[in-house]
Amino acid sequence: MQRIGVLISGRGSNLQALIDAQQRGELGGGRIAVVFSNVESAPGLERARRAGIAVAFRDHRGLPREVFDGEVAEVLKAHGVELVCLAGYMRLVSPVLLRAFPGRILNVHPALLPAFPGVKAQRQALEHGVKLSGATVHLVDENLDAGPIVAQEAVPVLSSDTEDSLAARILEAEHRIYPRAVRALLEGRLSIAGRRVLVEGE
């Protein structure tokens, strides 16, 4: 049973997708051991409590990034975490956290990376006028939204789309691919060749 730590800052719908997958037995034997937030009022913390999962909060404000990430690593290690899932975690991860979990941090992003990294990816896609956007799960490295790509799902951009309607459609894709990617990693089905992540069975 591998222990997962999920890092959030807000709503936590991707966290919920991971919880649901775990409850269906679709998380490759993984179990969410702790949900950590840097925002005390994050609604996702309530989702974790409802599912009986331990929660932790630390305020990042006023702390140097490395010091804060040292605290995050400590919390995660105290819960025996081996895999870290960023799920709407609005913080850049520093080398301190990367070194604590080498090759074991995943993130989900609401665009087909490398297009539209950073915040408001759905608005960026609309403003650029792309006809397809989507969702990406990738391994986290020291650069923003830039690590090796594990899974992607394309989502059409419709003429009638607003930022909200596109975000909602992309979110459904996020909820499908994130648990699958976590499962593949936990089942040892990922191998990395340069930037290419090969997923056995896919």
Q: How far apart are CA 33 and CA 87, in angstroms?
A: 15
**81, 138, 147, 174: which one contacts ligand GRF (CB under 6 A)?**
174
The Cα-based distances of 51 to 6, 19, 66, 135, 161 in angstroms read: 13, 8, 31, 26, 34
Residue range at the interface with ligand GRF (CB under 6 A); choices 49-57, 69-77, 103-111, 153-161: 103-111
Closest CB 188 distance from ligand GRF, rounded Å? 25
Q: How far apart are CA 33 and CA 52, in angstroms?
A: 10
Check if 138 is active-site: no
Q: Which ranges of the chain does DSSP label H, i.e. alpha helix?
A: 13-23, 43-50, 65-78, 95-100, 121-128, 163-186
Q: How far apart are CA 83 and CA 145, in angstroms?
A: 18
- Residue 108 is a binding residue for ligand GRF (CB under 6 A): yes
Q: How far apart are CA 118 and CA 141, in angstroms?
A: 14
Q: Which is nearer to ligand GRF, 98 or 201 (CB)?
A: 98
Q: How far apart are CA 192 and CA 155, in angstroms?
A: 26
Q: Which is nearer to ligand GRF, 70 or 91 (CB)?
A: 91
- Residue 13 is a binding residue for ligand GRF (CB under 6 A): yes
- Residue 53 is a binding residue for ligand GRF (CB under 6 A): no
**109, 169, 180, 183: which one contacts ligand GRF (CB under 6 A)?**
109
- Residue 11 is a binding residue for ligand GRF (CB under 6 A): yes
- Residue 180 is a binding residue for ligand GRF (CB under 6 A): no
Active site amino acids: 109
Please give the residue ranges that form the binding site for ligand GRF (CB under 6 A): 8, 10-14, 44, 87-88, 108-110, 171, 174
